[in-house]
Structure 1
Amino acid sequence: MRNEIMKEEQFLSILKSEIAPAVGCTEPVAIAYAAAKARTLLEDRPDRTSVIVSRNILKNAMGVGIPGTDEVGLEMAAAMGVIGGNSDKVLEVLEGITPDEVEEAKAYARSCVSVSLKDTPQKLYIEVRLEKADDSAVVVIEGGHTNITKIQHGSHILYEQKGCREIQRSAPDKDGLTIENIYEFISNVDIQKLDFLDECVRMNWTIAQEGLFGEYGLGVGKSIYPPEKTELTAADLAGYTAALAAAAADARMSGSTLPVMTVCGSGNQGITATLPVIGAALVLGTDHERMYRALALSCLVTIHVKQFIGKLSPLCGCGMGSSIGACCAFVYLQGGALEQIRYAVNNMTASVSGIICDGAKSGCALKVASVISSACQCAALALKDHSAGSMDGIVSSDVESTIRNLGVLGSRGMADTDQVILDMMICK
């Protein structure tokens, strides 16, 4: 019994550690967070701000909207952090920025902020340097969007360690996750222990409605499922679930100030792992308990897959991670069991593996819509006991081997892809 309790608490700890709120895309927001943190060390506004980042951060931050503005880019993200950011709010650092501060940040970004590339093998590296004639501050983030590894004021190093004590949380061990034990956990956990997902449902549903009824980006969500249509039928499953997720991505990628609940450090992954599940539950008339178990399943499968792919990758995290989680949840919501969930993972791998990440931008909503449509198709096949197998490319008859193969594809198999993508983006 003790082992079962420990095991259950470990799953809950993993969920709680990988689900967190953020305002805006997490890469530029992490830059704003570092800038705001450094700004607290200086009495006056810095004359110069230098942002030095890894190529994955540059790729993901250069084309995405900054919350509360019509601007994009790393310069504006850093300027917003310096001018009006609140580092105490971590990934919600830009919440509450005023219109006057936005205008100040625009001017500051044009004249006082520079961006350069760090020659590092690390995928997630952010260094922000603030300078005045007689003062300076440096903050470095590595490995995770909030993992501060260095804080320096002038020549005095205040912190230099693996994680800043203010924000560091002991990371639960995820190595033991499997599709089988995830399924066992979500099937048996006391449903009240999943009540913490309430805020995730509320937050992500709100931004989906903002995207459906507002004017954001390409308007992918509302083009798939018109918001004025109110009656849902079983035939709406694919369209409605894709529309909800895409609409939230429309809003988030195009400057909405509404927060989202992230999964594995990504708002779009959080959107893709949760909103299709909520939408499917509405279409299918699922009760509260089964929907929350399905949400836990989707998020844990996403976390499991992303553990192999990595937080930042040449592969699209929504396509290779959270859409697989959503597909498993679709199967579960429609009465599927463990074997059909295994089929769902293999079907999705056969369907969408290889979708690249070419940076965060409004077009991400198109990819979100595509992979959720595929998730509906793959779930339908799995429920009929149809599964891609060992003759289907990188798919293995063992689902855990399939997931490991995705990780190898995203690391060794696409080692040069990020550089090629970034070169194309910069040289346009």
Structure 2
Amino acid sequence: MDKACKYMELLKKEVVPALGCTEPIAVAYAVAKAADLLDKIPEVIELNLSVNVIKNALGVGIPGTGMTGVNIAAALGAVCNNSKEGLQLLVNITEDQLNLAKKIVDEGKIKLKVSESDEKLYIEALCREGKNQSRVVIKEEHTNIVLIEHNGVKILDNCAKGDTIPENKIEGELLNPIKDIKEAVHNINTSKDKMFSIEEIYDFAVNVDFEDIKFLLEGAEMNKKVSDEGLNQPYGLEVGNKINKSSQFNVLGNSLVNKIVAATAAASDARMSGCKLPIMTTAGSGNQGITCTIPSVILAEETGKSPEELARALAISSLVTIYIKSYMGRLSPICGAGIAASTGASAAMTYLLGGTVKNIKCAVKNMLADVSGMICDGAKATCALKIATAVNAAIQCAILAMSNIEPCSKDGIINDDVEKTIENIGSLVSKGFDNTDKAILEIMLNK
């Protein structure tokens, strides 16, 4: 398969819709799959989750519930009878199902444990009903089921060679979580096969047939609806809404920069507070999908760009985001939206401003010199603040890139080679932020 085909395959695989924050919804999906096997609502739901999943599920709103957190998500998964919808399984939850889910939570039927797995994304759902039990394990990606088991019989076993998920028991406590599993090798191991490069992404985006990437416009339209919802309704901290109205303070005014920042943050406001509208995700995250699409959408609208030009910008943004995330990991101690997706947005806006591949490389290096220390302390209302900060930086870095301004190898973690700079982000995550997730979760749980 040539690289153009691989890029096309990646876009179709990594740019997909979801309803609600992907971590708690993935937990709901695992529980729903396990409950399907029981054919009854489970008496007990035991969850064994990685630190990153818990961190991203504790404080985020669950669509249509007015509630936050992993427990209500898991309970809804148990009652929804809708696992076939994947990450949109909560789309048609009824009032009766919501009340039943709330009862499951109130009665303490959900038990949560922190996995000792080295996997950043690890979800194990064990559902018990009488003497029957079913188990589903998700790893590496939000819908990547690697094990389905019913009463000790494996129905599906997609575990990689060398992976060990220990046998469970019908009675007693949830199994000891797996140990000594190395960080997941994601879809493309860029450190080995060098599939990605900024130059190749640019060449693909500007030369691919428009019809092949037209579907990206549908995702942009989906995310714009959520942005409009956030601008017009009081979701979360109302970051986007209030920035949009900041002209009353005569500081930011009604500038295009202000409009781009407000529109992007507003979509996160809505999504993090349980908005019922679906989001088009990028590389496993709705906030990443928002951040790498909305800036280009607003800039294209305001500067009269064609749908084709917007689609090509979105291809650049999405692939740059996927590229950087392949080094950061699916879930990370640093902010995927604030670092990877905002860098993708800066690259795309540079393209829309008339930039060449050289300018785009400048934009990427500018961004990674600027925002690479932004931590991820879970999915919650303040994600909109991080996104507002990162998008403002993305615009500034694109403007600088258009004047060929860029850092060099003398500057911190930056390398003259943009690809080496992106690799350095991977080193920063794996070596520099090794214990950050545990420290963040400890702070969150002790409040």
TM-score, structure 2 as length reference: 0.89
What's the RMSD between the two structures over aligned residues? 1.9
Tell me whether 1:318 sits opposite 2:334 in the alignment: no
Tell me whether 1:46 sits opposite 2:46 in the alignment: no
Secondary structure of 2:135's match?
strand
Does the CA contact (< 8 Å) of 2:3 and 2:195 recur in 1? Answer: no
Secondary structure of 1:258's match?
coil
Corresponding residue number in structure 2 for 1:16: 12
Corresponding residue number in structure 2 for 1:162: 159
Tell me whether 1:242 sits opposite 2:238 in the alignment: no
Q: Which amino acid aligns with 1:198?
A: L
1:300-319 equivalences in 2 (<5 Å) = 300-319=319-338
Corresponding residue number in structure 2 for 1:119: 116
Corresponding residue number in structure 2 for 1:57: 53
1:194-213 equivalences in 2 (<5 Å) = 194-213=213-232
Deviates more, 1:315-324 or 1:39-48: 39-48
- Cα separation, 2, equivalents of 1:89 and 1:244: 28
Does the CA contact (< 8 Å) of 1:13 and 1:172 recur in 2? Answer: no
1:28-427 equivalences in 2 (<5 Å) = 28-111=24-107, 112-162=109-159, 175-226=194-245, 236-427=255-446
Residue segments in structure 1 that go unaligned for 5+ positions in a row: 164-169
Does the CA contact (< 8 Å) of 2:46 and 2:112 recur in 1? Answer: yes
Does the CA contact (< 8 Å) of 1:269 and 1:322 recur in 2? Answer: yes
- Cα separation, 1, equivalents of 2:21 and 2:81: 15
Q: Which amino acid aligns with 2:371?
A: V
Corresponding residue number in structure 1 for 2:22: 26
Alpha-carbon deviations, 1:285-330, whole Å to 9, x = none? Answer: 2111111110100001001111111111111001220000000111
Decide whether aligned partners of structure 1 residues 288 and 43 sit closer, same or farther in structure 2, where only a CA change above 3 A counts: closer
Q: Which amino acid aligns with 1:137?
A: S
* C-alpha displacement of 1:392: 1.6
Q: Which amino acid aligns with 1:155?
A: G
Alpha-carbon deviations, 1:166-218, whole Å to 9, x = none? Answer: xxxx9577641100111111111111111121320221111111111112101
- Cα separation, 2, equivalents of 1:354 and 1:188: 34
Secondary structure of 2:237's match?
coil
* C-alpha displacement of 1:7: 2.9
Corresponding residue number in structure 2 for 1:166: none
Secondary structure of 2:214's match?
helix
Does the CA contact (< 8 Å) of 1:238 and 1:372 recur in 2? Answer: no
Does the CA contact (< 8 Å) of 1:51 and 1:126 recur in 2? Answer: yes
TM-score, structure 1 as length reference: 0.93
Decide whether aligned partners of structure 1 residues 227 and 352 sit closer, same or farther in structure 2, where only a CA change above 3 A counts: closer
May I ask how many residue pairs the two structures share in their alignment? 414
Residue segments in structure 2 that go unaligned for 5+ positions in a row: 161-185
Alpha-carbon deviations, 1:357-405, whole Å to 9, x = none? Answer: 0000011000011100000111111111111112221011111111011
